[in-house]
Structure 1
Amino acid sequence: VLCWSVFLSLTVFMCLLFIIDKVSCDQRFSGAASFALKGRSCLTLRDFSSEEIKRLLWVSGDLKHRIKQENQYLPLLQGKSIAMIFEKRSTRTRMSTETGFALLGGHPCFLTSQDIHLGVNESSRDTARVLSGLCDIVLARVYSHSTLEELSKEASIPIINGLSDLYHPIQILADYLTLQEHFGSLSGLTVAWIGDGNNVLHSFMMSAAKLGIHLRIATPKGYEPEKSVIQEARRLSDEHGTQLLLTSDPMEAAHGSNVLVTDTWVSMGQEEEKKKRLDDFKGYQITMQTGSVARPDWTFLHCLPRKQEEVDDQVFYSSRSLVFPEAENRKWTIMGLVVSLLTDYTPQIPMMKF
């Protein structure tokens, strides 16, 4: 009886130790046990939870610290390759993906519209299956979001949205890492979007509330975000207890904001609308006057390339502008994303205080 009692006591004790250790581990990795990032695609941040987005940013910050600050060599993607499909040209997306993937020991393959004709010479379905046998992951920068959805449906490897008409998730990850580095945390920040209701804004709207960020959006009438995106953003805002404002007054959006953000008013494929768009966006240029109603510590973001009518030189080249660290962080966040989707990598630096 005594032996049996000792055995039961030891069993209970060991179980308690296991539970305590598990809780401690879960707290340390901020819900890491619920992560299932490896093998997934990234078409929109709508599909990622708060903790998953934080994990992506943590991995990105970790790689930046270890490689850039500590000069470590991390061949985490050695033997792997990425197919980069570009229907639309881009300096930052191409350079960040090519240099980042190569820095991690992998091989990037760049495919222009002259190399690959999605849905023309070969169906997107067939292309997805072919690439699944030739590489480990695909980044596609396309016109139609439905192209990405078809690639993801038919591929057996992860698909990353390098930009579509609906979302631009890899840009927003870079923006969040930039703001995290500058402010030290994200929760409680207020971001003012002043410009077009485009794909970059849609990605903000699908993720900001998950990080405790308030959004104030000013778009000209007729240039509002997609109704379905607004509906989901309102739901996320209610769920996470953040504020979401939609207005047509740039100064109202800027009022009390920590971050002023804009983007191009005329995207690729909209060149014929340029004159009308420039007329419709009069009064939306971000200037120091816009910042005068923002928080004293306000900063400025732009995903580039930038035009003078969107933001004047005084703001763009000021100490408040984070556009060039933001551009560099495109590299570290795409690296963090592909490492998370292709490996079981665990960051070495402490978890960021989001």
Structure 2
Amino acid sequence: MNKDLLKLLDLSREDIYKILNTADQMKYSQKHHIPHDYLRGKTLAMIFEKNSTRTRVSFEVGMYQLGGHALFLSGKESQIGRGEPVEDTARVLSRYCDGIMIRTYAQEEVEALARCASIPVINGLTDFAHPCQVLADLMTVRERMARLEGLKLCFIGDGNNMANSLIVGGLKCGMDVSAACPEGYDPDPRVLDFAKTVDDARFTLCRDPREAAADADVVVTDVWASMGQEEEKEKRQKAFGGVYQVDGALMALAHPGAMVLHCLPAHRGEEISAEVFEAHAGEIFEEAENRLHAQKAVMYLLMGEKED
């Protein structure tokens, strides 16, 4: 693996499977009370310029379970939020800590942090990518379906960071991927360009959610307006409302026994109906739990394991 986890575009298929296999081991150890304090004495700096529940708790708890310590740094309360160049922050934290996790807006900020840091940098979320969440998603699918290759993954909604990372992660793992997005809300062009380069990949971008969901094994959705897009809420409701919702009628088109995933928080009655959410709550909250195990695997592989 590379020094950092910045986006799934940077990982090979073998890298992704190594993380997933390690995450399975982490989950087994945690469930069976097997000590796995591989990061004893190590510290993770966590920079939050975007608020979070799952990201903060899962990284903080994960570091504790690995024997290390997580240090919370709010963007508003640290010098990075007062104009200090991210490059300087990277060089300072590299002298104090063993790893950095950052949850922010611009992908370039994460990339700049990694270029100047001598320690691993983990992308906890940007507007472009959400690699840790999608690793947890892939882990959840493989747990339930026993495989990834050959399955059809469908995404319904905004072509946001989740869509970007799901397309990349799904295609790299041999899945067929379809996405239904309104006009003007497509995934990032870099991701669409990547999809064209994957040998034997079957990727479809369409406007009709019914077309995307047909025979899907996994249906994924996300909120119509992500954090930082609150001022677009009314505009987005007009673009998405009445069409881009995962409901019973849409699920009837998917493969029998299809999974539903949602990275949370969910707005019932908007991107997903309350009935579908509750019918698939077991999968959705297993997905949320798997953030912990997938991120522990990432931290261990980047901060603990030393390859020859």
TM-score bucket (shorter structure) = over 0.9
Instruction: Verify: 1:213 aligned to 2:175, yes or no.
Output: yes
Correspondence 1:323-342 to 2 at 5 A: 323-342=284-303
Task: For 1:328 and 1:264, locate their aligned partners in 2 and report how far apart those are by CA, in whole Å.
Answer: 19
Whichever residue aligns with residue 44 of structure 2, its letter is: I
Mean alpha-carbon deviation: is it higher for 337-346 or for 227-236?
A: 337-346
Percent of aligned positions that are identical: 41
Q: 1:330 to 1:319 in 2, by over 3 A?
A: same
Provide Cα deviations, 1:193-243, integer angstroms capped at 9, x if missing partner.
Answer: 00000011111122211211110100000101122210112212xx2x221
| Aligned partners of 2:260 and 2:280 also within 8 Å | no
Deviation of 1:118 after TM superposition, in Å, equals 2.4
Max radius of gyration: which structure? Answer: 1
Q: Secondary structure of 1:125's match?
A: helix
Among candidates 25, 44, 49, match of residue 87 of structure 1: 49
1:284 is aligned to 244
Q: Secondary structure of 1:67's match?
A: helix
Mean alpha-carbon deviation: is it higher for 143-152 or for 203-212?
A: 203-212
| Aligned partners of 1:299 and 1:320 also within 8 Å | no
| Aligned partners of 1:258 and 1:298 also within 8 Å | yes
1:116 is aligned to 78
Deviation of 1:119 after TM superposition, in Å, equals 6.4
2:218 is aligned to 259
Provide Cα deviations, 1:12-42, integer angstroms capped at 9, x if missing partner.
Answer: xxxxxxxxxxxxxxxxxxxxxxxx45xx101
1:46 is aligned to 9
Q: 1:304 to 1:162 in 2, by over 3 A?
A: same
> What stretches of structure 2 of length at least 5 have no aligned partner?
none
2:89 is aligned to 127
Deviation of 1:321 after TM superposition, in Å, equals 5.4
2:253 is aligned to 293
Correspondence 1:241-252 to 2 at 5 A: 241-252=200-211
Task: For 2:81 and 2:289, locate their aligned partners in 1 and report how far apart those are by CA, in whole Å.
Answer: 33
> What stretches of structure 1 of length at least 5 have no aligned partner?
1-35, 347-354
Provide Cα deviations, 1:279-299, integer angstroms capped at 9, x if missing partner.
Answer: 100211110100111101211
2:229 is aligned to 270
Task: For 1:115 and 1:134, locate their aligned partners in 2 and report how far apart those are by CA, in whole Å.
Answer: 18
Task: For 2:201 and 2:76, locate their aligned partners in 1 and report how far apart those are by CA, in whole Å.
Answer: 45
Instruction: Verify: 1:154 aligned to 2:116, yes or no.
Output: yes
Q: Secondary structure of 2:267's match?
A: coil
Mean alpha-carbon deviation: is it higher for 320-329 or for 257-266?
A: 320-329
TM-score (norm 2): 0.96
Deviation of 1:114 after TM superposition, in Å, equals 2.6
Among candidates 296, 315, 331, match of residue 276 of structure 2: 315
Task: For 1:246 and 1:41, locate their aligned partners in 2 and report how far apart those are by CA, in whole Å.
Answer: 30
Task: For 2:280 and 2:72, locate their aligned partners in 1 and report how far apart those are by CA, in whole Å.
Answer: 35
Provide Cα deviations, 1:46-101, integer angstroms capped at 9, x if missing partner.
Answer: 11111110000000100110221x21111100010000000001110001000011
Mean alpha-carbon deviation: is it higher for 264-273 or for 134-143?
A: 264-273
Instruction: Verify: 1:78 aligned to 2:37, yes or no.
Output: no
Deviation of 1:117 after TM superposition, in Å, equals 3.9
Quote the RMSD (CA, aligned, Å): 1.4
How many corresponding residue pairs? 305
Q: Secondary structure of 2:204's match?
A: strand
| Aligned partners of 2:23 and 2:297 also within 8 Å | yes
Whichever residue aligns with residue 268 of structure 1, its letter is: M
Provide Cα deviations, 1:298-329, integer angstroms capped at 9, x if missing partner.
Answer: 11000000002110111001047511000000
Among candidates 173, 176, 184, match of residue 146 of structure 2: 184
Correspondence 1:230-245 to 2 at 5 A: 230-236=192-198, 239=199, 241-245=200-204
